[in-house]
Amino acid sequence: MSKSTEVKAVAQEIVKVIPLIMRTLVVEQQSSSYPMSPAHFRLLTILANHSCNLSELALRQAVSLPTMSNSISLLVERGWVKRVTWPQDRRQVVLEITPDGRAVLVEIKSQAEARVAELLDKLSPDDLKSLSAGLAVLEQALSPVLCPRPNAHAQIKRVSGE
């Protein structure tokens, strides 16, 4: 099997498995004390790592500014995100996760991790080692992809008519 054929086969397997993982995580998010959409969960996760402005988040999530603004407004209403004026430029507003938002994120993540651990408990020690090694390689391969392709946001704007 050529490398390109093998790469394509592995890519197909990853794309096949991701919906199973996402479905498991979404079920846990929805059954938590703080049900939220996967998009809102991703926003809290991003903001837990560093503050961003609205444009950065919209670009990173490949959505329009109005869509991102609506999502952030909901998270602000719930008290999970706050808007902060940037000290160096008062015209800039930065979004930060609040302590309540961080607590919600920790709770949902720990519930999801517990459920996934329950499912993985059926694996043999060798399978767990293989899975862990594979996930480390996958993370290394995908981690440089922090933002969508350079023109993705412009393409979304054209498609949505904004």
pTM: 0.74
We report the CATH number of the domain holding residue 25 as 1.10.10.10
- Rounded-to-integer distance, Cα 97 and Cα 84, Å: 10
Whole-number pLDDT of residue 153: 40
- Rounded-to-integer distance, Cα 30 and Cα 37, Å: 8
Range of 28's domain?
Answer: 3-160
Q: What is the pLDDT of residues 93-135, one digit of tens each?
A: 999 999 999 999 999 999 989 999 999 999 999 999 999 999 9
Structure tokens that stand for 77 in this block: 């209403």
The distance in angstroms from the start CA to the end CA of the chain is 46
- Chain centroid to Cα 60, Å, comes to 10
Number of structural domains the chain divides into: 1
